[in-house]
Structure 1
Amino acid sequence: MSAFDTLHRFIFANANVRGELVRLDESLNHIVHSYEYPVQIQRLLSEMAAATSLLTATLKFKGEIALQIQSKGPVSYAVINATHDQTLRGVARWDDSLSTLPETFSELLTSAVLVMTITPEEGERYQGVVALEKPTLAECLEAYFTQSEQLATRVHLMTDMQNPERVKAAGVLLQVLPTDASATDVNESTAFSHIATLTETLTEEEMFSLSVEDILYRLYHQEDVELFPAHAVKFACTCSKERSAEALRHVEKSELMSIIEEEGAIKMNCQYCHTEYRFDSIDVESIHSGNITPPEASQ
Protein backbone atom coordinates (compact mmCIF):
# COMPACT_ATOMS: atom_id res chain seq x y z
CA MET A 1 0.00 0.00 0.00
CA SER A 2 1.25 3.49 -0.86
CA ALA A 3 2.68 5.65 1.89
CA PHE A 4 0.12 8.23 0.79
CA ASP A 5 -3.61 7.94 0.12
CA THR A 6 -3.93 6.03 3.38
CA LEU A 7 -5.73 6.62 6.66
CA HIS A 8 -4.18 5.30 9.85
CA ARG A 9 -5.97 4.85 13.16
CA PHE A 10 -4.17 4.55 16.47
CA ILE A 11 -4.95 4.65 20.17
CA PHE A 12 -3.06 5.56 23.32
CA ALA A 13 -3.64 2.66 25.66
CA ASN A 14 -2.80 4.56 28.83
CA ALA A 15 -4.46 7.86 27.96
CA ASN A 16 -7.94 6.98 26.65
CA VAL A 17 -7.19 9.00 23.52
CA ARG A 18 -7.57 7.96 19.91
CA GLY A 19 -5.94 9.40 16.83
CA GLU A 20 -6.09 9.35 13.05
CA LEU A 21 -3.44 10.33 10.53
CA VAL A 22 -4.11 10.70 6.81
CA ARG A 23 -1.93 11.68 3.86
CA LEU A 24 -3.41 12.36 0.44
CA ASP A 25 -1.78 12.45 -2.98
CA GLU A 26 -3.43 10.90 -6.04
CA SER A 27 -6.91 10.88 -4.47
CA LEU A 28 -6.56 14.60 -3.79
CA ASN A 29 -5.29 15.55 -7.23
CA HIS A 30 -8.41 14.17 -8.86
CA ILE A 31 -10.27 16.83 -6.87
CA VAL A 32 -8.01 19.89 -7.02
CA HIS A 33 -7.36 19.49 -10.76
CA SER A 34 -10.95 18.84 -11.79
CA TYR A 35 -11.23 22.58 -12.53
CA GLU A 36 -8.67 25.33 -13.06
CA TYR A 37 -8.75 26.26 -9.40
CA PRO A 38 -6.53 29.08 -8.14
CA VAL A 39 -3.89 27.84 -5.71
CA GLN A 40 -5.79 29.35 -2.77
CA ILE A 41 -8.81 27.18 -3.52
CA GLN A 42 -6.62 24.14 -4.12
CA ARG A 43 -5.22 24.67 -0.65
CA LEU A 44 -8.69 25.05 0.87
CA LEU A 45 -10.00 21.90 -0.84
CA SER A 46 -6.84 20.05 0.19
CA GLU A 47 -7.36 20.90 3.85
CA MET A 48 -11.05 20.03 3.60
CA ALA A 49 -10.26 16.68 1.97
CA ALA A 50 -7.79 15.73 4.70
CA ALA A 51 -10.24 16.85 7.38
CA THR A 52 -13.17 14.94 5.88
CA SER A 53 -11.11 11.78 5.55
CA LEU A 54 -10.18 12.07 9.23
CA LEU A 55 -13.83 12.57 10.15
CA THR A 56 -14.90 9.36 8.42
CA ALA A 57 -12.91 7.52 11.04
CA THR A 58 -15.42 8.78 13.63
CA LEU A 59 -18.30 7.03 11.84
CA LYS A 60 -19.65 3.96 13.61
CA PHE A 61 -21.76 2.84 10.66
CA LYS A 62 -21.86 2.60 6.87
CA GLY A 63 -22.72 5.89 5.24
CA GLU A 64 -21.45 9.24 4.02
CA ILE A 65 -20.14 12.41 5.57
CA ALA A 66 -20.01 15.81 3.87
CA LEU A 67 -18.05 18.85 4.95
CA GLN A 68 -19.55 21.92 3.29
CA ILE A 69 -18.65 25.59 3.51
CA GLN A 70 -21.11 28.32 2.56
CA SER A 71 -19.72 31.84 2.36
CA LYS A 72 -20.38 35.37 1.16
CA GLY A 73 -16.69 35.87 0.45
CA PRO A 74 -14.58 35.20 -2.65
CA VAL A 75 -15.24 31.48 -2.19
CA SER A 76 -19.00 31.01 -2.09
CA TYR A 77 -19.16 27.25 -1.77
CA ALA A 78 -16.86 24.30 -1.15
CA VAL A 79 -17.72 20.72 -0.31
CA ILE A 80 -15.97 17.41 0.20
CA ASN A 81 -18.00 14.21 0.34
CA ALA A 82 -16.57 11.01 1.78
CA THR A 83 -17.84 7.54 2.52
CA HIS A 84 -17.14 5.10 5.35
CA ASP A 85 -14.88 3.13 3.00
CA GLN A 86 -12.72 6.18 2.30
CA THR A 87 -13.78 7.42 -1.11
CA LEU A 88 -13.52 11.18 -1.64
CA ARG A 89 -14.92 13.72 -4.09
CA GLY A 90 -15.27 17.49 -3.91
CA VAL A 91 -15.88 20.77 -5.67
CA ALA A 92 -15.72 24.52 -5.01
CA ARG A 93 -17.24 27.69 -6.45
CA TRP A 94 -15.56 31.09 -6.36
CA ASP A 95 -15.79 34.57 -7.80
CA ASP A 96 -13.74 34.14 -10.97
CA SER A 97 -14.10 37.84 -11.78
CA LEU A 98 -11.42 38.56 -9.17
CA SER A 99 -7.92 38.89 -10.59
CA THR A 100 -6.39 37.61 -7.36
CA LEU A 101 -7.73 35.85 -4.31
CA PRO A 102 -6.74 36.53 -0.70
CA GLU A 103 -4.35 34.08 0.92
CA THR A 104 -5.87 33.67 4.37
CA PHE A 105 -8.70 31.38 5.35
CA SER A 106 -10.64 34.22 6.99
CA GLU A 107 -10.43 36.49 3.95
CA LEU A 108 -11.46 33.76 1.51
CA LEU A 109 -14.54 32.97 3.57
CA THR A 110 -16.55 35.84 5.03
CA SER A 111 -19.85 35.47 6.91
CA ALA A 112 -19.30 31.75 6.43
CA VAL A 113 -20.68 28.63 8.05
CA LEU A 114 -19.44 25.06 8.15
CA VAL A 115 -22.11 22.42 7.63
CA MET A 116 -21.33 18.83 8.56
CA THR A 117 -23.84 16.29 7.22
CA ILE A 118 -23.78 12.63 8.21
CA THR A 119 -25.97 10.31 6.15
CA PRO A 120 -26.08 6.68 7.33
CA GLU A 121 -27.21 3.96 4.94
CA GLU A 122 -29.74 3.06 7.61
CA GLY A 123 -31.16 5.57 10.02
CA GLU A 124 -31.74 9.29 10.15
CA ARG A 125 -29.59 11.96 8.59
CA TYR A 126 -27.76 14.30 10.98
CA GLN A 127 -26.58 17.83 10.25
CA GLY A 128 -24.54 20.19 12.39
CA VAL A 129 -23.69 23.82 11.67
CA VAL A 130 -20.98 26.05 13.13
CA ALA A 131 -19.92 29.58 12.20
CA LEU A 132 -16.42 29.85 10.72
CA GLU A 133 -15.13 32.35 13.24
CA LYS A 134 -11.65 30.92 13.78
CA PRO A 135 -8.60 31.77 11.63
CA THR A 136 -8.09 28.21 10.35
CA LEU A 137 -10.24 25.28 9.29
CA ALA A 138 -8.58 23.08 11.91
CA GLU A 139 -9.59 25.46 14.71
CA CYS A 140 -13.13 25.69 13.33
CA LEU A 141 -13.42 21.90 13.45
CA GLU A 142 -12.16 21.85 17.00
CA ALA A 143 -14.81 24.42 17.88
CA TYR A 144 -17.44 22.25 16.20
CA PHE A 145 -16.59 19.24 18.34
CA THR A 146 -16.46 21.34 21.48
CA GLN A 147 -19.85 22.86 20.67
CA SER A 148 -21.73 19.84 19.36
CA GLU A 149 -20.01 16.76 20.76
CA GLN A 150 -18.41 18.09 23.96
CA LEU A 151 -15.32 16.07 23.13
CA ALA A 152 -11.78 17.34 23.58
CA THR A 153 -10.39 17.39 20.03
CA ARG A 154 -7.25 18.59 18.28
CA VAL A 155 -6.93 18.84 14.50
CA HIS A 156 -3.77 19.56 12.51
CA LEU A 157 -3.99 20.09 8.75
CA MET A 158 -1.04 20.53 6.39
CA THR A 159 -0.61 21.01 2.65
CA ASP A 160 2.33 20.63 0.30
CA MET A 161 1.83 22.95 -2.68
CA GLN A 162 5.43 22.96 -3.94
CA ASN A 163 4.58 20.97 -7.05
CA PRO A 164 1.39 22.42 -8.60
CA GLU A 165 0.85 19.18 -10.53
CA ARG A 166 1.18 17.01 -7.44
CA VAL A 167 -0.51 18.69 -4.51
CA LYS A 168 -0.42 16.82 -1.22
CA ALA A 169 -2.36 17.19 2.02
CA ALA A 170 -2.20 15.59 5.44
CA GLY A 171 -3.95 15.74 8.76
CA VAL A 172 -3.93 14.45 12.31
CA LEU A 173 -6.96 14.21 14.57
CA LEU A 174 -6.73 13.52 18.29
CA GLN A 175 -9.82 13.00 20.39
CA VAL A 176 -10.68 11.86 23.88
CA LEU A 177 -12.65 8.64 23.73
CA PRO A 178 -16.31 9.42 24.44
CA THR A 179 -16.45 6.72 27.11
CA ASP A 180 -14.25 8.87 29.33
CA ALA A 181 -16.80 11.34 30.66
CA SER A 182 -14.24 12.94 32.96
CA ALA A 183 -12.04 14.12 30.08
CA THR A 184 -14.45 16.11 27.98
CA ASP A 185 -12.62 19.33 28.77
CA VAL A 186 -9.10 19.71 27.38
CA ASN A 187 -7.97 21.57 30.49
CA GLU A 188 -9.20 18.72 32.71
CA SER A 189 -7.30 16.04 30.79
CA THR A 190 -3.60 16.18 31.53
CA ALA A 191 -2.88 13.16 29.34
CA PHE A 192 -4.73 14.61 26.37
CA SER A 193 -3.03 17.98 26.75
CA HIS A 194 0.37 16.26 26.88
CA ILE A 195 -0.31 14.25 23.71
CA ALA A 196 -1.69 17.34 21.95
CA THR A 197 1.45 19.29 22.84
CA LEU A 198 3.67 16.55 21.46
CA THR A 199 1.69 16.52 18.22
CA GLU A 200 2.18 20.26 17.74
CA THR A 201 5.92 19.66 17.31
CA LEU A 202 5.38 17.75 14.05
CA THR A 203 6.72 19.72 11.08
CA GLU A 204 5.43 19.72 7.51
CA GLU A 205 8.73 18.29 6.31
CA GLU A 206 8.39 15.36 8.70
CA MET A 207 4.74 14.80 7.81
CA PHE A 208 5.41 14.55 4.09
CA SER A 209 8.76 12.70 4.18
CA LEU A 210 8.70 10.20 7.06
CA SER A 211 6.80 6.93 7.20
CA VAL A 212 3.75 6.86 9.45
CA GLU A 213 5.54 4.53 11.84
CA ASP A 214 8.46 6.96 12.07
CA ILE A 215 6.11 9.89 12.63
CA LEU A 216 4.40 8.13 15.51
CA TYR A 217 7.72 7.08 17.01
CA ARG A 218 9.12 10.58 16.61
CA LEU A 219 6.12 12.06 18.44
CA TYR A 220 5.08 9.41 20.93
CA HIS A 221 8.00 7.06 21.58
CA GLN A 222 7.43 7.37 25.33
CA GLU A 223 3.73 6.52 24.99
CA ASP A 224 1.98 3.17 24.61
CA VAL A 225 0.57 3.53 21.07
CA GLU A 226 -1.28 0.84 19.11
CA LEU A 227 -1.38 1.38 15.34
CA PHE A 228 -4.14 -0.36 13.39
CA PRO A 229 -3.92 -1.54 9.75
CA ALA A 230 -4.12 1.28 7.21
CA HIS A 231 -7.16 1.98 5.03
CA ALA A 232 -6.72 3.05 1.41
CA VAL A 233 -8.19 6.41 0.40
CA LYS A 234 -9.28 6.98 -3.19
CA PHE A 235 -11.24 9.36 -5.37
CA ALA A 236 -14.61 8.01 -6.46
CA CYS A 237 -17.79 9.59 -7.74
CA THR A 238 -21.27 8.25 -7.03
CA CYS A 239 -22.83 9.74 -10.15
CA SER A 240 -24.59 7.49 -12.66
CA LYS A 241 -27.02 7.73 -15.56
CA GLU A 242 -29.68 6.24 -13.30
CA ARG A 243 -29.23 9.00 -10.71
CA SER A 244 -29.39 11.65 -13.41
CA ALA A 245 -32.51 10.04 -14.85
CA GLU A 246 -34.12 10.04 -11.43
CA ALA A 247 -33.56 13.81 -11.24
CA LEU A 248 -35.23 14.25 -14.64
CA ARG A 249 -38.26 12.32 -13.42
CA HIS A 250 -39.19 15.40 -11.38
CA VAL A 251 -39.14 17.71 -14.42
CA GLU A 252 -42.23 18.06 -16.60
CA LYS A 253 -42.06 15.76 -19.63
CA SER A 254 -43.10 18.57 -22.00
CA GLU A 255 -40.24 20.74 -20.75
CA LEU A 256 -37.72 17.95 -21.33
CA MET A 257 -39.04 17.29 -24.83
CA SER A 258 -38.75 20.98 -25.60
CA ILE A 259 -35.07 20.96 -24.61
CA ILE A 260 -34.44 17.92 -26.80
CA GLU A 261 -36.17 19.60 -29.74
CA GLU A 262 -33.99 22.68 -29.38
CA GLU A 263 -30.66 21.07 -28.47
CA GLY A 264 -30.93 17.53 -29.79
CA ALA A 265 -30.50 15.94 -26.36
CA ILE A 266 -30.51 16.68 -22.64
CA LYS A 267 -26.95 16.84 -21.36
CA MET A 268 -26.21 16.48 -17.67
CA ASN A 269 -22.65 16.89 -16.41
CA CYS A 270 -21.41 15.72 -13.02
CA GLN A 271 -19.82 18.65 -11.21
CA TYR A 272 -17.40 16.30 -9.44
CA CYS A 273 -15.99 14.08 -12.20
CA HIS A 274 -17.31 15.82 -15.36
CA THR A 275 -18.95 12.69 -16.72
CA GLU A 276 -21.65 13.65 -19.23
CA TYR A 277 -24.97 11.82 -19.40
CA ARG A 278 -27.14 12.29 -22.48
CA PHE A 279 -30.87 11.66 -22.75
CA ASP A 280 -32.94 11.59 -25.94
CA SER A 281 -36.70 11.50 -26.45
CA ILE A 282 -36.81 7.73 -26.03
CA ASP A 283 -35.03 8.06 -22.67
CA VAL A 284 -37.51 10.70 -21.52
CA GLU A 285 -40.46 8.52 -22.51
CA SER A 286 -38.93 5.67 -20.54
CA ILE A 287 -38.22 7.83 -17.50
CA HIS A 288 -41.74 9.22 -17.30
CA SER A 289 -43.37 5.83 -17.91
CA GLY A 290 -41.56 4.46 -14.86
CA ASN A 291 -39.22 2.18 -16.82
CA ILE A 292 -36.09 3.25 -15.01
CA THR A 293 -33.81 1.37 -12.65
CA PRO A 294 -33.72 3.12 -9.25
CA PRO A 295 -30.24 4.47 -8.38
CA GLU A 296 -30.05 2.22 -5.32
CA ALA A 297 -30.54 -0.89 -7.43
CA SER A 298 -27.93 0.15 -9.98
CA GLN A 299 -25.04 0.43 -7.54
Structure 2
Amino acid sequence: MSDQIQRFLFDHTNVRGEIVTLANAYHEVLDRHAYPPVVNQQLGELLAAVALLTDTVKLDGTLSIEVRGQGVLSLLMAESNPGGELRAIARIADGGDLPSESASFRELVGNGQIVITLDPSEGNRYQGIVALDHETLSGCLEAYFSQSEQLPTRLWLAADGERAGGLLLQRLPDASQNQDVDAWERSVHLADTIKREELLGLEQREVLYRLYHEETVRVFDPKALRFGCTCSRERMSNALLTLGSEELRDILREQGEIDTQCHFCHTKYHYTVAEIESLLEDPDAPAPTIH
Protein backbone atom coordinates (compact mmCIF):
# COMPACT_ATOMS: atom_id res chain seq x y z
CA MET A 1 0.00 0.00 0.00
CA SER A 2 1.17 3.53 -0.74
CA ASP A 3 -0.94 5.07 2.03
CA GLN A 4 -0.75 3.32 5.37
CA ILE A 5 0.25 3.53 8.99
CA GLN A 6 1.88 0.71 10.92
CA ARG A 7 2.23 0.26 14.66
CA PHE A 8 5.24 -1.46 16.21
CA LEU A 9 6.77 -2.03 19.61
CA PHE A 10 10.00 -3.30 21.09
CA ASP A 11 9.55 -6.47 23.11
CA HIS A 12 10.45 -6.32 26.80
CA THR A 13 10.58 -2.51 26.75
CA ASN A 14 8.19 0.36 27.37
CA VAL A 15 8.82 1.85 23.91
CA ARG A 16 6.28 1.84 21.11
CA GLY A 17 6.12 3.49 17.70
CA GLU A 18 4.21 4.28 14.53
CA ILE A 19 5.40 4.74 10.98
CA VAL A 20 3.30 6.34 8.24
CA THR A 21 3.61 6.72 4.47
CA LEU A 22 1.34 8.87 2.28
CA ALA A 23 1.15 9.28 -1.48
CA ASN A 24 -2.39 9.20 -2.91
CA ALA A 25 -4.00 11.02 0.02
CA TYR A 26 -1.25 13.63 -0.14
CA HIS A 27 -1.83 14.15 -3.87
CA GLU A 28 -5.58 14.44 -3.33
CA VAL A 29 -4.96 17.36 -0.96
CA LEU A 30 -2.47 19.12 -3.22
CA ASP A 31 -4.49 18.58 -6.42
CA ARG A 32 -7.34 20.64 -4.95
CA HIS A 33 -5.15 23.69 -4.37
CA ALA A 34 -2.27 25.58 -5.94
CA TYR A 35 0.13 26.09 -3.08
CA PRO A 36 3.83 26.93 -3.54
CA PRO A 37 6.16 23.91 -3.26
CA VAL A 38 7.45 24.91 0.17
CA VAL A 39 3.85 25.00 1.48
CA ASN A 40 3.17 21.60 -0.10
CA GLN A 41 6.10 20.24 1.87
CA GLN A 42 4.80 21.61 5.16
CA LEU A 43 1.30 20.27 4.43
CA GLY A 44 2.78 16.82 3.80
CA GLU A 45 4.57 16.85 7.14
CA LEU A 46 1.37 17.97 8.86
CA LEU A 47 -0.65 15.19 7.21
CA ALA A 48 1.88 12.62 8.38
CA ALA A 49 1.82 14.12 11.88
CA VAL A 50 -1.97 14.10 12.22
CA ALA A 51 -2.11 10.46 11.11
CA LEU A 52 0.54 9.52 13.68
CA LEU A 53 -1.16 11.38 16.52
CA THR A 54 -4.61 9.98 15.74
CA ASP A 55 -3.32 6.44 15.92
CA THR A 56 -1.21 7.18 18.99
CA VAL A 57 -3.97 8.66 21.17
CA LYS A 58 -6.45 6.01 19.91
CA LEU A 59 -9.27 8.53 19.66
CA ASP A 60 -12.74 7.39 18.60
CA GLY A 61 -13.45 10.66 16.86
CA THR A 62 -11.71 13.43 14.97
CA LEU A 63 -8.27 14.85 15.71
CA SER A 64 -7.08 18.08 14.14
CA ILE A 65 -3.81 20.00 14.24
CA GLU A 66 -4.09 23.70 13.50
CA VAL A 67 -0.97 25.85 13.12
CA ARG A 68 -1.93 29.50 13.53
CA GLY A 69 0.98 31.68 12.51
CA GLN A 70 1.69 35.37 12.16
CA GLY A 71 4.06 34.93 9.24
CA VAL A 72 3.44 34.65 5.51
CA LEU A 73 1.80 31.29 6.18
CA SER A 74 -1.08 32.16 8.49
CA LEU A 75 -2.71 28.73 8.71
CA LEU A 76 -1.87 25.08 8.32
CA MET A 77 -4.57 22.61 9.30
CA ALA A 78 -4.92 18.85 9.01
CA GLU A 79 -7.60 16.50 10.30
CA SER A 80 -7.86 12.74 10.71
CA ASN A 81 -10.29 10.18 12.07
CA PRO A 82 -10.14 6.49 13.11
CA GLY A 83 -11.44 5.47 9.68
CA GLY A 84 -8.15 6.57 8.18
CA GLU A 85 -9.55 9.63 6.40
CA LEU A 86 -7.28 12.66 6.11
CA ARG A 87 -7.74 16.21 4.86
CA ALA A 88 -5.71 19.41 5.06
CA ILE A 89 -5.54 23.05 3.96
CA ALA A 90 -3.13 25.98 4.12
CA ARG A 91 -3.67 29.72 3.97
CA ILE A 92 -1.18 32.38 2.91
CA ALA A 93 -1.66 35.72 4.69
CA ASP A 94 -3.52 38.37 2.70
CA GLY A 95 -1.12 40.79 1.06
CA GLY A 96 1.88 38.65 1.98
CA ASP A 97 4.65 37.80 -0.44
CA LEU A 98 4.87 34.25 -1.69
CA PRO A 99 7.17 32.27 0.60
CA SER A 100 10.71 31.49 -0.45
CA GLU A 101 11.27 27.91 -1.63
CA SER A 102 13.98 27.53 0.97
CA ALA A 103 11.98 28.95 3.89
CA SER A 104 11.89 26.84 7.05
CA PHE A 105 8.77 26.01 9.04
CA ARG A 106 9.52 28.74 11.58
CA GLU A 107 10.27 31.31 8.88
CA LEU A 108 6.94 30.54 7.21
CA VAL A 109 4.67 30.69 10.25
CA GLY A 110 6.53 33.13 12.50
CA ASN A 111 5.14 33.48 16.00
CA GLY A 112 1.88 31.84 16.93
CA GLN A 113 0.55 28.61 18.35
CA ILE A 114 -0.48 25.07 17.53
CA VAL A 115 -3.96 24.00 18.57
CA ILE A 116 -4.60 20.26 18.82
CA THR A 117 -8.28 19.38 19.07
CA LEU A 118 -9.61 15.97 20.10
CA ASP A 119 -13.30 15.70 19.25
CA PRO A 120 -14.58 12.28 20.39
CA SER A 121 -17.77 10.79 19.01
CA GLU A 122 -18.97 10.68 22.61
CA GLY A 123 -17.83 12.85 25.49
CA ASN A 124 -16.28 16.25 25.80
CA ARG A 125 -14.12 18.03 23.28
CA TYR A 126 -10.52 18.69 24.35
CA GLN A 127 -8.05 21.27 23.09
CA GLY A 128 -4.34 21.49 23.81
CA ILE A 129 -2.34 24.57 22.87
CA VAL A 130 1.42 24.88 22.50
CA ALA A 131 3.43 27.90 21.41
CA LEU A 132 5.47 27.91 18.21
CA ASP A 133 8.71 27.95 20.16
CA HIS A 134 10.64 25.44 18.05
CA GLU A 135 12.18 25.58 14.60
CA THR A 136 10.29 22.56 13.22
CA LEU A 137 6.78 21.18 13.32
CA SER A 138 8.06 17.98 14.91
CA GLY A 139 9.76 19.97 17.68
CA CYS A 140 6.54 21.85 18.47
CA LEU A 141 4.54 18.62 18.61
CA GLU A 142 7.11 16.97 20.85
CA ALA A 143 6.68 19.93 23.23
CA TYR A 144 2.92 19.35 23.20
CA PHE A 145 3.34 15.75 24.31
CA SER A 146 5.80 16.79 26.98
CA GLN A 147 3.40 19.40 28.40
CA SER A 148 -0.01 17.82 27.86
CA GLU A 149 0.51 14.07 27.78
CA GLN A 150 3.69 13.98 29.89
CA LEU A 151 4.98 11.13 27.77
CA PRO A 152 8.43 11.41 26.17
CA THR A 153 7.66 11.45 22.43
CA ARG A 154 9.84 11.99 19.37
CA LEU A 155 8.78 12.58 15.76
CA TRP A 156 10.61 12.52 12.44
CA LEU A 157 8.65 14.03 9.52
CA ALA A 158 9.42 14.44 5.82
CA ALA A 159 7.63 15.42 2.60
CA ASP A 160 8.69 16.40 -0.91
CA GLY A 161 5.49 17.21 -2.81
CA GLU A 162 5.14 13.61 -3.99
CA ARG A 163 5.25 11.54 -0.81
CA ALA A 164 5.02 12.24 2.90
CA GLY A 165 6.25 10.11 5.76
CA GLY A 166 6.70 10.11 9.47
CA LEU A 167 8.05 8.10 12.37
CA LEU A 168 6.94 8.40 16.00
CA LEU A 169 8.48 6.88 19.10
CA GLN A 170 6.94 7.10 22.56
CA ARG A 171 8.09 5.92 25.97
CA LEU A 172 5.29 4.60 28.13
CA PRO A 173 5.28 4.94 31.93
CA ASP A 174 5.71 2.20 34.55
CA ALA A 175 8.55 0.19 33.16
CA SER A 176 8.85 -3.09 35.01
CA GLN A 177 12.12 -4.42 36.42
CA ASN A 178 12.34 -6.93 33.59
CA GLN A 179 12.33 -4.29 30.90
CA ASP A 180 15.31 -2.91 29.02
CA VAL A 181 15.87 0.43 30.77
CA ASP A 182 18.17 1.72 28.01
CA ALA A 183 15.71 0.98 25.21
CA TRP A 184 14.34 4.52 24.92
CA GLU A 185 17.68 6.25 24.50
CA ARG A 186 18.87 3.55 22.12
CA SER A 187 15.77 3.58 19.92
CA VAL A 188 15.83 7.40 19.66
CA HIS A 189 19.55 7.43 18.87
CA LEU A 190 19.02 4.95 16.04
CA ALA A 191 15.98 6.84 14.70
CA ASP A 192 18.07 10.01 14.55
CA THR A 193 20.12 8.30 11.81
CA ILE A 194 17.11 8.05 9.46
CA LYS A 195 17.59 9.92 6.20
CA ARG A 196 14.78 11.88 4.57
CA GLU A 197 15.14 9.82 1.39
CA GLU A 198 14.73 6.59 3.37
CA LEU A 199 11.61 7.77 5.17
CA LEU A 200 10.03 8.79 1.86
CA GLY A 201 11.36 6.14 -0.49
CA LEU A 202 11.55 2.83 1.37
CA GLU A 203 8.86 0.38 2.40
CA GLN A 204 7.99 0.72 6.08
CA ARG A 205 9.33 -2.68 7.11
CA GLU A 206 12.57 -1.90 5.30
CA VAL A 207 12.90 1.35 7.26
CA LEU A 208 12.33 -0.49 10.54
CA TYR A 209 14.80 -3.22 9.57
CA ARG A 210 17.51 -0.73 8.69
CA LEU A 211 17.05 1.09 11.99
CA TYR A 212 16.37 -1.80 14.35
CA HIS A 213 17.67 -5.05 12.86
CA GLU A 214 19.49 -5.77 16.12
CA GLU A 215 16.35 -5.18 18.22
CA THR A 216 13.33 -7.42 18.77
CA VAL A 217 10.59 -5.47 17.04
CA ARG A 218 6.99 -6.62 16.87
CA VAL A 219 5.24 -5.12 13.83
CA PHE A 220 1.45 -5.08 13.59
CA ASP A 221 -0.78 -5.19 10.53
CA PRO A 222 -0.84 -1.91 8.60
CA LYS A 223 -3.91 0.30 8.47
CA ALA A 224 -4.94 1.91 5.18
CA LEU A 225 -5.23 5.69 4.92
CA ARG A 226 -6.99 7.83 2.32
CA PHE A 227 -8.20 11.34 1.60
CA GLY A 228 -11.68 11.99 2.95
CA CYS A 229 -13.68 15.12 3.65
CA THR A 230 -16.28 15.34 6.39
CA CYS A 231 -18.11 18.32 4.92
CA SER A 232 -21.88 18.11 4.45
CA ARG A 233 -24.79 20.40 3.72
CA GLU A 234 -25.74 20.23 7.40
CA ARG A 235 -22.29 21.33 8.55
CA MET A 236 -22.19 24.10 5.93
CA SER A 237 -25.63 25.29 7.05
CA ASN A 238 -24.43 25.45 10.64
CA ALA A 239 -21.42 27.48 9.53
CA LEU A 240 -23.67 29.94 7.68
CA LEU A 241 -25.84 30.37 10.77
CA THR A 242 -22.82 31.67 12.68
CA LEU A 243 -22.89 34.74 10.40
CA GLY A 244 -26.22 35.78 11.91
CA SER A 245 -29.55 36.52 10.28
CA GLU A 246 -28.78 40.17 9.50
CA GLU A 247 -25.60 39.41 7.57
CA LEU A 248 -27.18 36.48 5.74
CA ARG A 249 -30.11 38.63 4.60
CA ASP A 250 -27.72 41.40 3.53
CA ILE A 251 -25.91 38.88 1.32
CA LEU A 252 -29.21 37.71 -0.15
CA ARG A 253 -30.25 41.30 -0.93
CA GLU A 254 -26.96 41.86 -2.75
CA GLN A 255 -26.61 38.51 -4.52
CA GLY A 256 -30.09 36.97 -4.57
CA GLU A 257 -28.67 33.62 -3.40
CA ILE A 258 -25.69 32.22 -1.54
CA ASP A 259 -23.00 30.03 -3.04
CA THR A 260 -20.25 28.65 -0.83
CA GLN A 261 -17.83 25.76 -0.89
CA CYS A 262 -15.78 23.56 1.38
CA HIS A 263 -12.22 24.84 1.76
CA PHE A 264 -10.88 21.28 1.99
CA CYS A 265 -12.47 19.48 -0.97
CA HIS A 266 -14.09 22.37 -2.92
CA THR A 267 -17.57 20.79 -2.88
CA LYS A 268 -20.01 23.60 -3.70
CA TYR A 269 -23.20 24.34 -1.79
CA HIS A 270 -26.01 26.52 -3.16
CA TYR A 271 -28.74 28.22 -1.09
CA THR A 272 -31.82 30.02 -2.37
CA VAL A 273 -33.63 32.77 -0.47
CA ALA A 274 -36.30 30.28 0.60
CA GLU A 275 -33.70 27.83 1.89
CA ILE A 276 -31.90 30.48 3.94
CA GLU A 277 -35.20 31.73 5.41
CA SER A 278 -36.20 28.18 6.29
CA LEU A 279 -32.80 27.66 7.90
CA LEU A 280 -33.18 30.83 9.99
CA GLU A 281 -36.70 29.90 11.08
CA ASP A 282 -35.80 26.35 12.11
CA PRO A 283 -32.03 25.75 12.44
CA ASP A 284 -32.60 22.22 13.77
CA ALA A 285 -34.62 21.05 10.78
CA PRO A 286 -32.97 18.35 8.65
CA ALA A 287 -31.09 19.66 5.63
CA PRO A 288 -33.08 19.10 2.42
CA THR A 289 -31.88 16.45 0.03
CA ILE A 290 -30.41 18.02 -3.10
CA HIS A 291 -30.87 16.09 -6.36
What is the Cα-based RMSD across aligned positions, in Å? 2.3
Say if 2:3 and 2:25, in contact at 8 Å, map to a contact too: yes
Q: 1:203 aligns with which of 195, 199, 209?
A: 195
- State how 1:76-155 maps to structure 2 within 5 Å: 76-95=74-93, 97-101=96-100, 103-155=103-155
Q: Quote the Cα distance in structure 2 between the aligned partners of 1:181 and 1:48.
A: 34
Q: Quote the Cα distance in structure 1 between the aligned partners of 2:246 and 2:130.
A: 42
Q: Quote the Cα distance in structure 1 between the aligned partners of 2:128 and 2:99.
A: 32
Say if 1:81 and 1:90, in contact at 8 Å, map to a contact too: yes
Residue 228 of structure 1 corresponds to which residue in structure 2?
A: 220
% of aligned pairs identical?
A: 38
Structure 1: tracts of 5 or more residues without a match: 162-166, 183-187
Deviations 1:175-194 (A, max 9, x none): 01244499xxxxx9521010
Q: Quote the Cα distance in structure 2 between the aligned partners of 1:244 and 1:233.
A: 25
Structure 2: tracts of 5 or more residues without a match: none
Are residues 1:171 and 2:166 paired? Answer: yes
Tell me which amino acid in the other structure corresponds to 1:175.
Q
Q: CA deviation at 1:132?
A: 1.4
Tell me which amino acid in the other structure corresponds to 2:219.
L
Q: How many residues align?
A: 283
Tell me which amino acid in the other structure corresponds to 2:286.
T
Q: Structure 1 residues 177 and 282 mapped into 2: Cα distance closer, same or farther (>3 Å)?
A: same
Are residues 1:218 and 2:210 paired? Answer: yes
Say if 1:32 and 1:46, in contact at 8 Å, map to a contact too: no
Q: Quote the Cα distance in structure 2 between the aligned partners of 1:263 and 1:77.
A: 29
Are residues 1:293 and 2:286 paired? Answer: yes
Q: Quote the Cα distance in structure 2 between the aligned partners of 1:76 and 1:209.
A: 30
Q: Structure 1 residues 59 and 100 mapped into 2: Cα distance closer, same or farther (>3 Å)?
A: closer
Residue 185 of structure 1 corresponds to which residue in structure 2?
A: none
Deviations 1:17-71 (A, max 9, x none): 1100001111012223322111111111111111111000123331111111111
Q: Structure 1 residues 57 and 180 mapped into 2: Cα distance closer, same or farther (>3 Å)?
A: farther
TM-score by length of 2: 0.89
Say if 2:44 and 2:160, in contact at 8 Å, map to a contact too: no
Q: Quote the Cα distance in structure 2 between the aligned partners of 1:70 and 1:153.
A: 22
Deviations 1:105-162 (A, max 9, x none): 221121121111111111111111111111111112112211222211110011234x
Q: CA deviation at 1:207?
A: 2.3
Q: Quote the Cα distance in structure 2 between the aligned partners of 1:97 and 1:258.
A: 30
Q: Quote the Cα distance in structure 2 between the aligned partners of 1:68 and 1:250.
A: 20
TM-score by length of 1: 0.87
Q: CA deviation at 1:259?
A: 2.8
Q: Quote the Cα distance in structure 2 between the aligned partners of 1:237 and 1:29.
A: 14
Moved more, 262-271 or 226-235: 262-271
